[in-house]
């Protein structure tokens, strides 16, 4: 099972050093871009939390896929719900980022998920079809199913609900692109619910936010997935 840590914008330099000094497992960690160099050359792989939809050029504050790849980054998260919400990212922009990422040999972690009152299947189908337009390389693509109402709330759906949604995601991709994909779950995953969540049949791993900043919990989660 894959474990991906989305460290978001949680950590100071001191906290980053503590994490790096105490944790070296075979996972994928996505720190703030400013800290990426500290995370390189460990057992874990490194991802960024977002990339620009542009190549190199006059885009203040942005990080391109080429720059990330040059430095030794292997993955990028794209379309996280916080970016969709606070940066008004559209599926069309997300699509451009995915294409740039794949062109530069980054592996893509595409986040999809519904708000509480959404028509879940309609929203997710649209997120997938629009974000994956003209994409043909599905072997470097991972989907993270993250219901927005579960992110940072301490709430998780039931295993049955997650399993049904994962199977909907897989069927949608098979039907429209003729490909199969790995699907992760994300949203309030912690050391206590991991033993329940890991029983989901069609699941390939987890995207973990807040808890991934806590190396003790992260170690427990990794150990529990090994059992
Ligand atoms: P959380 O976040 O684990 O803190 O709920 C998950 C995510 O946003 O990727």
Could you tell me the residue ranges of all domains in the chain?
A: 2-226
Q: Is 77 in the pocket of ligand 1 (CB under 6 A)?
A: no
Quote the pLDDT of residue 227: 79
* Strand blocks (E) in 130-211: 141-145, 182-186, 205-208
CA–CA dist 15, 52 (Å, integer): 27
What is the pTM assigned to this prediction? 0.97
Topology at the third CATH level for domain 2-226? TIM Barrel (3.20.20)
CA–CA dist 130, 54 (Å, integer): 18
Tell me the per-residue pLDDT of 75-128, one tens digit each, with 9 for 90 and over.
Answer: 999 999 999 999 999 999 999 999 999 999 999 999 999 999 999 999 999 999
Catalytic choice (62, 80, 89, 174): 80
Q: How far is the CA of 207 from the centre of ligand 1 (A)?
A: 7
Q: Is 207 in the pocket of ligand 1 (CB under 6 A)?
A: yes
Token pair 């807040």 in the structure block, residue:
210
Catalytic choice (82, 89, 125, 146): 146
Q: Which residues of 148-177 are buried (b: 16+ CB within 10 A; e: fewer)?
A: bbbbeeeebbebeebbebbebbbebbeeeb
Q: Is 184 in the pocket of ligand 1 (CB under 6 A)?
A: no
Say whether pLDDT at 202 is over 90.
yes
Question: Would you say 1 and 198 are in contact if contact means Cβ atoms under 8 Å apart?
Answer: yes
- Average pLDDT on 21-35 reads 97
């Amino acid at each position: 099972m894959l474990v991906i840590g989305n460290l978001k914008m949680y950590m100071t330099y001191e906290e980053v050093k503590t994490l790096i000094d105490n944790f070296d497992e075979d996972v994928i960690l996505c720190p703030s871009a400013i800290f990426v160099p500290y995370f390189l050359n460990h057992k874990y792989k490194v991802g960024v939390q977002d990339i620009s939809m542009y190549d190199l050029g006059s885009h203040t504050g942005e990080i391109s896929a080429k720059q990330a790849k040059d430095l030794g980054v292997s993955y990028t998260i794209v379309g996280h719900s916080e970016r969709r919400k606070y940066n008004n990212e559209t599926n069309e922009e997300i699509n451009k980022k995915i294409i740039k990422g794949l062109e530069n040999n980054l592996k893509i972690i595409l986040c999809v998920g519904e708000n509480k009152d959404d028509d879940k299947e309609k929203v997710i189908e649209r997120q997938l079809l629009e974000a994956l337009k003209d994409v043909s390389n599905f072997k470097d693509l991972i989907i993270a199913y993250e219901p927005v109402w579960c992110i940072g709330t301490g709430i998780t759906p039931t295993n049955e609900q997650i399993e049904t949604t994962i199977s909907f995601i897989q069927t949608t991709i098979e039907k429209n692109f003729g490909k199969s994909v790995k699907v992760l779950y994300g949203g309030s995953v912690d050391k206590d619910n991991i033993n329940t969540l890991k029983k989901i049949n069609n699941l390939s791993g987890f995207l973990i936010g807040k808890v991934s900043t806590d190396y003790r919990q992260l170690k427990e989660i990794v150990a529990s997935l090994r059992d």
